[in-house]
Amino acid sequence: MTNHAKEKTVLVIPCSGIGKVHGLISREATYQVTDELAPGRTDTLCLGLLVRRDDEAVAAIKRQYCITIDGCPKACAEKNVQMAGGRIASSVQVAAAFKRHHGARPGTATDLSKDGWMITREVAEAVAGEVERLHDGKEVS
């Protein structure tokens, strides 16, 4: 990818919360977006690098649009990107997807079940939709 194309990519940053299945869903949804649904238009970035204020990572989130995916209302991805001065275009919460699937058994923080993968796909498609909107609106500068 050229540097110019790289700069147009949207950064999808999950919380990857280790304690709950929601964190795993945020992580896997990110990979579905970057690897399947919007490859070439999206990339991800280690949240840990923002935690330690890595120069390259901080420069990237200021330069490119970011979409954060959080497992729960603690919104660690959104908060950490904001604290590091990132440009957040959209914040998605996995918990919202669960409201549409009462009774679903998504699996564990280690292993997703069929239900869990279904919710992951839904979240990924919602994020991919946001990426599309950003590109169509020519807001990715």
Residues that bind other proteins (CB under 8 A): 13-19, 23-24, 27-28, 30-32, 35, 44-49, 51-52, 54, 74, 76-77, 79-80, 83, 105, 109-114, 117
In the complex, minimum distance from the CB of residue 99 to other proteins, in angstroms, rounded to a whole number: 22
Alpha helix (H) ranges present in 1-141? 3-8, 21-32, 47-51, 55-63, 76-83, 94-99, 114-136
In the complex, minimum distance from the CB of residue 80 to other proteins, in angstroms, rounded to a whole number: 5
Nearer to other proteins (CB atom), residue 23 or residue 67: 23
SS3 percent helix, strand, coil of the chain, rounded to 5, is 50, 15, 30
CA atoms within 13 A on the CB side of 141: 4
Nearer to other proteins (CB atom), residue 27 or residue 41: 27
